[in-house]
Amino acid sequence: MLGEHGGRTGLALVALAAYVFLYAPIAVLVALSFNSSRLSASWEGFTLAWHVKAVNNPAVLQSLRNSLLVGGATTLVATALGTAAALALHRHRFKRTGAVEAALMLPTVAPEIVLAASLLLLFASVGLRLGFASVILAHVGFTVSYAFLVVKARIAGFDHSLEEAAMDLGAGPVRVFLLVTLPAIFPAVLAAALLVFALSIDDYVVTSFVAGVGATTLPLQIYSMVKSGVSPEINAVSTMLLMATALLLLAAFLLEQGRAATRAAIVPALAGFGILTAPFVLTSPPSAASDRVLNLFIWSNYIAPETLAKFEARHGVRVNVDLYDSNEALLAKLQAGNAGYDVIVPSDYSVQVLVAQGLLRPLDRSALPNLRHIDAAFLDRPYDRGNRFSVPYVWCTTGIAYHRERVAAPVDSWSALWDPRYRGRVLMVDDAREVFGAALKRRGHSLNATDPALLRAVRDDLIAQRPLVRAYNSTNFEDVLLSGDVWLAQGWNGQFAKAMEQDPDIVYVIPKEGSTLFIDNLAIPVDARHAELAHRFIDFTMEPEIAAEICQTMKYSSPNRSAWPLLPDSIRRNPAIFPPRDVLPRLELIQDLGEATVLYDRLWTEVKSR
Ligand code: N2P
């Protein structure tokens, strides 16, 4: 039998294991943020370069500024409200105090996603434009309960007779509050404020629903950076955010411990705020940011920063970029309303959906003289006859890329993605229409099939494929392939063409059964606030030199005929970028399937939830 000592040691070991489990991922992230290698796998020495790079990134600085503004305003309002509520309920006990308190606590236990969705609905129904105001209101909404809880715990033992004595001596209620009540509960109020601030600075879920455009906070910025590939710079920003939050929470904890620990809280509080504000002190101020802004909502990996910089310089404006990775995400954002974007990039079938719902603004052709450079083959398509609402930006194909050396036989069919030899080594894009499209083509059908029995059979194929699938990823699938984590990946040609430059062992094929052709277009939402600038941007992307630059940097095919002669042979003759003529007849555009979309959504959920 274990003695008391042995029991304790065992307990300590279990506790240690639990802590390792909790903190190991964080430790890895923090360690890698100091790793001089870009590739996370190998340690190549200590560096602060990623931290320096991160704080010099204008988008990071801007989002940090936004986070501080939101956090500051939220802290003031939520702490004041929470304190007032705690005092009121402490002073006036009535029959239903318990119920009132429980109602105040509900937001701390309600699922965050539900809170986020209901706030978005509320804002949409009162017509509140998504931006700083909506984010601050939402943050106040979910932090006020915490402020209440912290202050309430501390004032449980607060002695009202002090207030009464002051009143007896002739002090008015305001004086009593400022000179008697507040000093007595101040550490608790401060602790509440620090907690609220830390919660606000950290929040992702609620903010992602209600931020709209221009109010991108640091967590949203980090997520958006992840979409363009994981880099040590992201680890660095995350590490800074993590340290600041931990220090602020430590300060809040010390303040709650009572008098003796109050002074000890000063150091972590100052250090926490120091980390958050240091980037502004250490870096040179941004060149007078223009107040003319173009809000662009675009696919990840679809435009290079240098191209945007050219537009900014030419027009003396700032381009605010948000990224997405599926048409469905774009549609959801626009359908919720008030998104605030000036230019969006819907694929063919999504143009049709948006037009039908009255969500696009008719284009002013006189402001688009460069439209003459677009090849006629890409104009006047069924999804937007006469191009009244959209102009082609880029076209692309879906296919399979694989490691020649790891995959035994040459791949020419979608069936390769079901080959049991590649168990755990397959990646599919995270996109219902594309995944069903591949499975339908594999069975020899159109990727626009709507027959319920057929779709259910295809769903079963996809469920059978699950053990082979390492990940569903529409963002940086080419990185996952490059890293060797997967050997075969479904994905879009441009990003694979980039991967092939880095690793000549990677091959891109369009399966013999056929595949998707996308024409991705530029369009202006009906509620865009900078429609004139939006037209200028669209026209800018159709200038032959700019269109060629977009094709060269992003490796997606250009519909711009005048740009073709400007492209080097390595691009023009690259079959992964411009597919050979004999492939074209095998490609099919995705169509809007109306009612059947619901069925696709349901079956897709069934595949993913297995
Ligand atoms: C960009 C890929 C877009 C292809 N990441 C689908 N339209």
Ligand 1 pocket test, pick from 330, 351, 396 with the greatest ligand atom count within 8 Å of Cβ, gives: 396
Is residue 438 within 8 Å of residue 465, measured between CB atoms?
A: no
DSSP 46: B
Which residue lies with its CA nearest to atom 3 of ligand 1?
Answer: 299
Q: Quick one: which atom of ligand 1 is closest to the CA of 474? A: 5
Instruction: Kindly give the interhelix angle for 232-256 and 218-227, rounded to the nearest 10 degrees.
Output: 150
pLDDT at 399: 97
Per-position DSSP letters for 180-204, written without gaps between them: IIHHHHHHHHHHHHHHHHHHHHH--
Which ranges of the chain have pLDDT less than 50?
A: 288
Cα separation, 4 vs 180, whole angstroms: 51
Ligand 1 pocket test, pick from 475, 520, 577 with the greatest ligand atom count within 8 Å of Cβ, gives: 520
Q: Rg (Cα) of the chain, in Å, rounded?
A: 28
Q: Quick one: which atom of ligand 1 is closest to the CA of 301? A: 5
Q: Quick one: which atom of ligand 1 is closest to the CA of 300? A: 5
Contacts of 539 (CB under 8 A, 6+ apart): 367, 368, 369, 370, 371
Which helix or strand (DSSP H or E) is residue 403 part of? strand 390-403
The angle subtended at Cα 14 by Cα 13 and Cα 15, nearest 5°, is 90
Cα 394 to ligand 1 centre (Å): 9
Residue type at 599 in one-letter notation: L
Cα separation, 461 vs 254, whole angstroms: 57
pLDDT at 288: 47
Per-position DSSP letters for 114-169, written without gaps between them: HHHHHHHHHHHHTTPPSSHHHHHHHHHHHHHHHHHHHHHHHHTT--HHHHHHHHHT
Cα separation, 457 vs 599, whole angstroms: 13
Cα 164 to ligand 1 centre (Å): 69
Which residue lies with its CA nearest to atom 4 of ligand 1?
Answer: 492
Q: Quick one: which atom of ligand 1 is closest to the CA of 520? A: 7
Per-position DSSP letters for 53-72, written without gaps between them: HHHT-HHHHHHHHHHHHHHH
DSSP 33: T
Q: How far is CA 487 from CA 401, 424, 429, 505, in A?
A: 8, 9, 14, 11
pLDDT at 291: 64
> Please, which residues bridge with residue 403 across strands?
506
Cα 302 to ligand 1 centre (Å): 7
Q: Which residues line ligand 1 (CB under 6 A)?
A: 299-302, 347, 396, 492, 518, 520
Q: Quick one: which atom of ligand 1 is closest to the CA of 325? A: 5
What is the separation, in whole angstroms, between the first and last Cα of the chain?
44
What are the pLDDT digits (tens) for 496-549? 999 999 999 999 999 999 999 999 999 999 999 999 999 999 999 999 999 999
pLDDT at 206: 94
pLDDT at 285: 56
Q: How far is CA 576 from CA 401, 487, 510, in A?
A: 10, 18, 9
Domains and CATH numbers, the chain: 53-282 (1.10.3720.10), 294-394+518-579 (3.40.190.10), 396-517+593-608 (3.40.190.10)
Residue type at 199 in one-letter notation: L
Q: Which pTM was predicted?
A: 0.76
Cα separation, 150 vs 50, whole angstroms: 37
What secondary structure, in 3-state letters, does 243-295 show?
Answer: HHHHHHHHHHHHHHCCHHHHHHHHHHHHHHHHHHHHHHHHCCCCCCCCCCEEE
pLDDT at 88: 87
Q: Quick one: which atom of ligand 1 is closest to the CA of 327? A: 7
What are the pLDDT digits (tens) for 324-338? 999 999 998 898 877
Name the nearest CA neighbour of 112 among 192, 207, 198, 245: 207
Contacts of 398 (CB under 8 A, 6+ apart): 429, 434, 437, 438, 490, 491, 492, 493, 510, 515, 516, 518
Instruction: Kindly give the interhelix angle for 305-315 and 544-554, rounded to the nearest 10 degrees.
Output: 150
Ligand 1 pocket test, pick from 492, 515, 554 with the greatest ligand atom count within 8 Å of Cβ, gives: 492
Cα 60 to ligand 1 centre (Å): 24
The angle subtended at Cα 344 by Cα 377 and Cα 362, nearest 5°, is 70
